[in-house]
Structures are given as C-alpha cells and as structure tokens.
C-alpha cells in the first residue's frame, strides 16, 4: 500500500466501522480537511488492534509514521518478530480489501495470529528470565524464532535457550529433556513419581484409560511449554479430545516423535 492511497471521508468512516465491528473495539478516529483521506494512517492502529486481540498483550508504537517515497515507516514494539510482521501484512491486506469494498472476516486473521503467537513467542520460563533481565537493565537479544536469547554483549555475554544456559551440563540437559528418563532417574533416587504408560495409537490409549479409576494426563512425550497436554481426564470422551489435541501439536511441530505419554494424575 503506497502513500497515494486515499479514500473519501465517507468511505474512510465506513472502513473504520467495518474494522471496529470485526475487532469489537474502538479505534482512534481522526478527522482530515477536504474530501480525500489518506488510508495509510490506519495501518499502525489496525496492526496494534490485531496484535492485542490475538495475544492479549499490550503493544505500542515507539515512533510516529514517516512517509518515505512509496513506503510507510513506523517503529512498533515487539517480542516475536514473526507474529508482528504477520500482523502488519494482515493489516495491509485488510485495508486493501476493505478499500475495494470486499468483505473481510477479521476473526480469521486473529485466529492465525493466535497460532503464530503460540508457536513463536518466548516460552513462559524464558520470558520470565528475559523480564527479570530487563528489570536489571541487562540487555537481552533474541537470536532466533525459538528460545535462544543472549544477555549482554561481547566477552561478558551469556546465552540461554529456554532454561538451559551456555554452561549447563550436556548430559544433564539430555536427561531433563526426556520425560521418561527424568522420571526413571527420580524414581531410582527414591522420589515419588506418577505411574505412566506410553502409547502411539488411540486404541492403546483407550485401553489404558478404560483400565483406571483415577484422573489421568495425556501429553506428547517430548513436547515442552505444556503444549498438547490435557489434564484431569476422567472419561473416554475427554481422553479422545486430549489425544486429538496431541495430534494437532504433532502436526504443528513436525520434529517431535509421535509418542504419547499417559500419566496418572497425582494431586499436590
């Protein structure tokens, strides 16, 4: 969308109404003199609204819009670059289609951004470390779309990935990455661990759930961040729902092995 995109006052307010109805919120209304209204000022506002609706987090524009030739420039606060860039592209598409009078179901964009936020945002453990670093004025820089983060610069810099630091034992890391090995080590040490069963197909999982009286948890054997986990399963219907969620996670994260872990829930 170029700086030359203009619409009439009537069309401009019609576009605002369509956007607001799709987002169930109120955008900042601005008035311009004359009959022609530039469309591009809506871009950052719409981007912010899409992000906040999809993620539940607050975003802000750090620098006002600048017109540079045929391009629009503005600086937007972000944590996950993929999520924010996709929101900007979505906002451009929405404005262009609304300008042409084409119907647009904005909820579809929000659903997609929710999925992007789920996949590409920092995990809760990593985010808590990054937040603590910011409070201490320690520079934090994300190095990839996953959880690799650098703190500080130069020879004094340190790196983490999730809760693993650049000085973490490799053997200890491999043990902790495996739910099964970790439970085995804890059990050998005399610590209580929940009983479990490994399954790969629904029929195996169904037989396990049918044979117990207490609640169980179904989760991917090697996923993290609680992805694909379903808790407090007490019926076959709940178990099947949990198994389907696990399958969705495997489709999103293709690198996982298709093993399923069923654990007997232990309160406390």
If asked whether residues 29 and 84 sit together in one domain, one would say yes
Averaged pLDDT, 61-67: 72
pLDDT surpasses 80 at 122: yes
Among candidate residues 184, 239, 199, 240, the one with its CA nearest the CA of residue 217: 239
pLDDT at 189: 92
If asked whether residues 211 and 240 sit together in one domain, one would say yes
In a domain, 210, yes or no: yes
Instruction: Note the maximum CA span of the chain.
Output: 79
pLDDT surpasses 70 at 141: yes
If asked whether residues 59 and 137 sit together in one domain, one would say no
In a domain, 100, yes or no: yes
If asked whether residues 93 and 18 sit together in one domain, one would say yes
Could you give the number of structural domains in the chain?
3
pLDDT surpasses 90 at 129: yes
pLDDT surpasses 80 at 133: yes
If asked whether residues 28 and 103 sit together in one domain, one would say yes
For 216, what's the count of Cα atoms within 13 Å in the CB-facing half-sphere? 30
pLDDT surpasses 90 at 137: yes
pLDDT at 3: 45
Q: Write the CA distances from 79 to 64, 131, 143, 144, 251, integer angstroms.
A: 19, 11, 11, 11, 25
If asked whether residues 251 and 146 sit together in one domain, one would say no
pLDDT at 256: 45
The domain of 145 spans 124-168
Query: Would you say 15 and 106 are in contact if contact means Cβ atoms under 8 Å apart?
Result: no
Which of 141, 168, 195 is the last residue before a domain boundary?
Answer: 168
pLDDT surpasses 90 at 78: no
State pLDDT tens for residues 44-53: 888 888 888 8
In a domain, 1, yes or no: no
Averaged pLDDT, 2-25: 66
Lowest mean pLDDT among 5-9, 78-82, 93-97, 198-202: 5-9
In a domain, 173, yes or no: no
What's the CA dihedral at 163, 167, 171, 175 to 10 degrees?
A: -10
């Amino acid at each position: 969308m170029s700086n030359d995109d203009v619409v009439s006052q009537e069309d401009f307010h019609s576009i605002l109404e369509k956007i607001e109805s799709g987002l169930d919120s109120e955008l900042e209304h601005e008035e311009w003199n004359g009959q022609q209204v530039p469309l591009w000022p809506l871009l950052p506002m719409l981007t912010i609204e899409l992000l906040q609706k999809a993620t539940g987090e607050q975003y802000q524009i750090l620098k006002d819009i600048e017109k540079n030739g045929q391009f629009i420039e503005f600086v937007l606060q972000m944590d996950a670059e993929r999520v924010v860039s996709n929101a900007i592209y979505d906002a451009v598409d929405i404005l262009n289609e609304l300008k042409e009078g084409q119907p647009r179901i904005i909820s579809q964009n929000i659903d997609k951004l929710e999925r992007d936020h789920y996949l590409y945002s920092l995990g809760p453990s990593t985010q808590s470390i990054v937040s603590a670093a910011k409070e201490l004025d320690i520079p934090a820089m994300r190095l990839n779309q996953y959880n690799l983060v650098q703190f500080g610069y130069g020879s004094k810099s340190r790196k983490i990935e999730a809760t693993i630091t650049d000085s973490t034992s490799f053997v200890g890391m491999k043990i902790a990455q495996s739910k099964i090995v970790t439970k085995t080590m804890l059990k050998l040490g005399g610590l209580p661990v929940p009983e479990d069963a490994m399954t790969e197909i629904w029929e195996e999982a169904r037989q396990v759930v049918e044979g117990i009286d207490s609640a169980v948890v179904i989760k991917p054997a090697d996923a993290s961040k609680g992805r694909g986990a379903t808790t407090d399963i007490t019926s076959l219907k709940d178990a099947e729902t949990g198994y389907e969620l696990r399958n969705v996670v495997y489709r999103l994260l293709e690198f996982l092995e298709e093993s399923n872990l069923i654990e007997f829930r232990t309160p406390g």
